[in-house]
Structure 1
Amino acid sequence: MTESTADLFQFPCEFPLKVMGLRTDHFAHSMLTVVLQHVPDFQPETLEMRASKGGKYLSVTCTFIATSRAQLDGLYQALSHHPEVVMVL
């Protein structure tokens, strides 16, 4: 996240995070595990999943209350470096 991007947020704020990867049996669970490490109060039942049109990819959207830029940076970094992740938005 860049300096100018961080200036757009006033914390705490509701933040939707979308993670995309290959559609496997464990992708959503793996992403949930990473999110919970950075957002312990995330409610797993609010996680949204959507398969790509061809069914090869899965997007997982987690909407949570972000408390700081450091929290978002840590979460983005962890997800971006995860071997199953293709893209984080």
Structure 2
Amino acid sequence: MSEDVKSHKIEFPCADYAIKVIGDTGVGFKDKIVEILKKHAEVDMSTLAERQSKEGKYTTVQLHIVATGEDQLQDINSALRATGFVKMVL
């Protein structure tokens, strides 16, 4: 009794693609994330949301971008992870 699970495919370009980045709280975390995203995509700054974890150890930054393809998303993920302070990209 298994149901077929169909994944939702993203149709590119996607003008409202949400990216959530979780990382170590530190001075300039949000600015660095925005800088990296702007190098790879058009960023909608009106969607910027930032919050800290209960203990203040981690910060989450969420933004919407114009996603143009899988390669772009992989490049963004790689650039964010290369910082050393990003723990998760959703």
TM-score (norm 2): 0.81
1:12 aligns with: 13
Question: Where in structure 2 are the equivalents of 1:10-89 lying within 5 Å?
Answer: 10-13=11-14, 14-39=16-41, 41-89=42-90
Unpaired runs of 5+ residues, structure 2, are 1-6
Bigger strand share: 2
1:55 maps to amino acid: G
Larger Rg: 2
Give the percent of matched residue pairs that are identical in Structure 1 and Structure 2: 33
- Number of matched residues? 83
TM-score (norm 1): 0.82
1:16 maps to amino acid: A
The SS at the match of 1:46 is strand
Bigger helix share: 1
Unpaired runs of 5+ residues, structure 1, are none
What is the alpha-carbon root mean square deviation over aligned residues? Answer: 1.6
